[in-house]
Amino acid sequence: MLLAIDIGNTTIALAAVHRGEVTAVQHMDTPPLLSGGADPRVLVLRLNKALAIFRKKGYIFNKGVLCSVVPKILTVVERTIVKSMGFEPKVVGRDVIVPIKNRYKNPKQVGQDRLVGAYAALRLYGKPLIVIDLGTAITFDVVSTRGEYLGGVIVPGLRLSAESLFLKTALLPKIVLKAPGNIIGKTTEESMLSGLFY
């Protein structure tokens, strides 16, 4: 059984993978270690709690793979897996190279998450294609007719956009993200939600 962990800026996803099939998934918020003031023990506790839930459900892992866009979090997660699970996980970009031709001007600048998404979509759906990932940032990644990663577009995600509207304006409120009832908002909150979603 493989433990696959995707470490994003907002969320960490853990998945149990058996014979290429995802059989269970857990999510947790990514703690704000980027600021340097957060205690990494919080992450270790959350991670061990998630691993305990997997164990309770009968999942026994003998290998793992990590993909991360947050280097400080990656280090903590990697050490926790070694200590808690007894094996050293492979890290995408360091131990595992995504097998897709990367046509970025500087290939090292592309996030491993974007390459993994492009490669997975290529394997699942063929070529050419555009892969859209709705995360902290929304990314549009293009795979050519030759199956090569060409690059893409990065725009602020929904949460980031909502936070920006709240922080950078005097009168707009902080809102909870949810699907709006109508495209034409009848309140400030509805109008903001409509703008973010549509």
| Neighbour-count burial for 152-190, b at 16+ CB within 10 Å, e otherwise | beeeebeebbbeebeeeeeebeebeeeebeeeeeeeebb
The pTM score is 0.85
**Is the pLDDT at 167 greater than 80, yes or no?**
yes
Convert the pLDDT of each residue in 119-143 to its tens digit.
Answer: 999 999 999 999 999 988 999 999 9
- Please indicate whether residue 113 is annotated as part of the active site: yes
> Cis bond leading into 173, ω under 30°?
no
Least confident interval from 53-62, 99-108, 146-155, 164-173? 164-173
**Strands, sheet with 149-156, edge to edge from the N-terminal-most edge strand:** 129-134, 137-143, 149-156
Catalytic residue among 6, 113, 133, 141: 113
